[in-house]
Amino acid sequence: MRIDILTLFPEMFGPFLSTSIPKRAAEKGLVEYQLTNFRDFATDAHLSVDDKPFGGGPGMIMMCQTVFDAVAAAEMQGPQDPHPRMATRILLSPQGQKFDQAMAQQFATQERLLLIAGRYEGFDQRIVEGLQPSEVSIGDYVLSGGELAAMVVIDAVVRLLPGALGAEDGAADETFADGLLEHPQYTRPREYRGMSVPDVLLSGNHAAIAAWRLEQRKKRTAERRPDLWSAYQDRQKK
């Protein structure tokens, strides 16, 4: 997979892409990252990438030309094969569809992703019309820009690429793969400040452990996430 990231702040991505699983996936050749700065495509003396909204209002709007040119330049780069020239384009925006595990799984099947992270009050609507990206939000709160959202999407996607997770990282059948939250986990010591590890986990009885864990997952999901719990129950009925 090739992932292009378009941003005004490429320096935000350095530590993220060179740490842990995103880094190891690149080292294993599963993914290649390419950063592009919109500013490099500015054409005026001030290197403008934004302008005031028509009709008035607060804040500044990402303008068309730098974004269209940056996308065209990024998609021209990179090997044609196996990467198709046009990427699956993702524009990070609070107006987007809410990101979830199913979306991460769909993106993980693509050869080429291109993430557009903006600052300011948003994008000129003709960017959305002209580039036809998937508009993605990571939740109902306001960030100062799309960069953190882009990192969230990249992290969730890259760990799904076959071979990205070592055995010690656990498999992809964790929370949300089957729609239940995770069960509680314990490690040494067996007792800490008067708190003990549940006996069943020390029993060596694998069937009993699996049954306990499933019960815990259901209990947690029912208590904490009624939305996930009803969806799970609906699926069990089918």
User: Quick one: which of 9, 21, 94, 175 contacts ligand 6GU (CB under 6 A)?
Assistant: 94
* Contact between 149 and ligand 6GU per CB under 6 A: yes
Nearest to ligand 6GU of 135, 174 (CB atom) = 135
User: Quick one: which of 7, 36, 66, 93 contacts ligand 6GU (CB under 6 A)?
Assistant: 93
Angle at 60 between CA 59 and CA 63, to 5 degrees: 160
- Quote the CA–CA distance of 175 and 183 in Å, as a whole number: 9
236: tokens are 């069990």
Residue 16: which residues within 8 A CB-CB, separation 6 or more?
22, 151, 154, 155
Q: Where are the beta strands (DSSP E) in the chain?
A: 2-7, 32-37, 50-51, 61-62, 88-98, 112-116, 134-137, 191-192, 195-196
Which range of residues in 40-48, 88-96, 108-116, 208-216 is near ligand 6GU by CB under 6 A? Answer: 88-96
Shortest spacing between CB 161 and ligand 6GU, in angstroms: 22
According to CB under 6 A, which residues from 122 to 141 bind ligand 6GU? Answer: 137-139, 141
Bridge partners for 7 per DSSP: 37
Which range of residues in 48-56, 62-70, 87-95, 220-228 is near ligand 6GU by CB under 6 A? Answer: 87-95
Q: Is 228 exposed, middle or buried (0-12, 13-18, 19+ CB in 10 A)?
A: middle
* Contact between 7 and ligand 6GU per CB under 6 A: no
User: Quick one: which of 92, 108, 151, 157 contacts ligand 6GU (CB under 6 A)?
Assistant: 92
Which range of residues in 91-99, 154-162, 180-188, 200-208 is near ligand 6GU by CB under 6 A? Answer: 91-99
Angle at 166 between CA 16 and CA 190, to 5 degrees: 100
* Contact between 145 and ligand 6GU per CB under 6 A: yes
Q: Which residues bind ligand 6GU (CB under 6 A)?
A: 92-94, 137-139, 141-143, 145-146, 149
